[in-house]
Amino acid sequence: MFLEFFAVIVAGVAGFGTALIAHRLTLRRLPDWTAPFGAAIAMVLMVIYLEYSWAGRFEAGLPEDVTVVSRNEHRVWYRPWTFVVPLTTRIIAVDNRIRQPHSVNPDMVLTGVILKERWALTFGFKSIFDCAAGRRADLSEGTVLDEEGIPQNVDWFTMDPDDPFLTTACGGEMHNGGSSAQG
C-alpha cells in the first residue's frame, strides 16, 4: 500500500512538472492553474491504473499450479469508467498444490481455495468437492469425517457441472497463475 501511495505522489509530481514545462514553453499563455491540474490528472490516472492492474499483478505472483477460477467485476456510479471496463474487486483461485483425491471414494477431492480481495488480507481454506454430485463443502477445524471420508457437519453447495470452480478442482487442471477462467 505504501508503494502505491508513493507511486501516486510521484505521478502527481511528474504531472505537475510536465504541465509547468508546457506552461513555460507556451510563454505563459496557458492558465496559471495548468500545473496543479496536471498534477491532479496524473494522480487520478495513476490511481485508476493501480486499481485496474492489481488483479493481474496478484495473478502473476501465483504459483503455476494455482488457477484463478473467478473474478468479481464491479460497476459503481462514483467510478463512471467502470461502466465501460468493469473493475475486478475479488479473485477466487483453486490451489492444486494440495489437491488430494480420496483413497476410498475418488469422486471426493480435497483442495485449497484462495480468496483475495482488493485492500484486504488474502484468505485461504480447504474445500472438499464431490465431483460426482457436483457439490462443494468448505472445511473447518470442527469438520467430522465418517468412515468413508465424507464430511458430516458441513453445508454442501450445489454447483453447475460447467462451473470453472468445480471443473478445476475435479479435473485437477494446472494452469499458470496468470491464466484464469471467468466465473
- The 10s digit of each residue's pLDDT in 62-78 is 999 999 999 999 999 99
Q: What is the pLDDT of residues 6-58, one digit of tens each?
A: 999 999 999 999 999 999 999 989 999 999 999 999 999 999 999 999 999 99
Read off φ and ψ for residue 117, nearest 5 degrees.
-120, 145
Angle, vertex CA 128, rays to CA 124 and CA 131, nearest 5: 130
Residues 29 and 78 in one domain: no
Residues 92 and 161 in one domain: yes
Question: Residue 180 pLDDT more than 50?
Answer: no
Residues 45 and 118 in one domain: no
Domain of residue 27: give its range.
2-60
Instruction: Report yes or no on 179 lying in a domain.
Output: no
Bridge partners for 115 per DSSP: 92, 123
Amino acid of residue 31: P
- 84-88, 103-107, 145-149: range with lowest mean pLDDT: 145-149
Residues 95 and 150 in one domain: yes
Domain count, the chain: 2
Residues 46 and 92 in one domain: no
The reported pTM is: 0.80
Residues 164 and 104 in one domain: yes
Residues 27 and 98 in one domain: no
> Given this model, what pLDDT does residue 182 score?
44
- Cα–Cα distance for residue pair 66/122, rounded to 1 Å: 14
Instruction: Report yes or no on 81 lying in a domain.
Output: yes
* Domain finish residue from 42, 60, 78: 60
Instruction: Report yes or no on 177 lying in a domain.
Output: no
Provide the grid cell at 101.
483425491
Residues 99 and 41 in one domain: no
**Maximum Cα–Cα distance across the chain:** 84
Helix (H, G, I), strand (E, B) or coil at 35: helix
Residues 113 and 52 in one domain: no
Residues 18 and 48 in one domain: yes
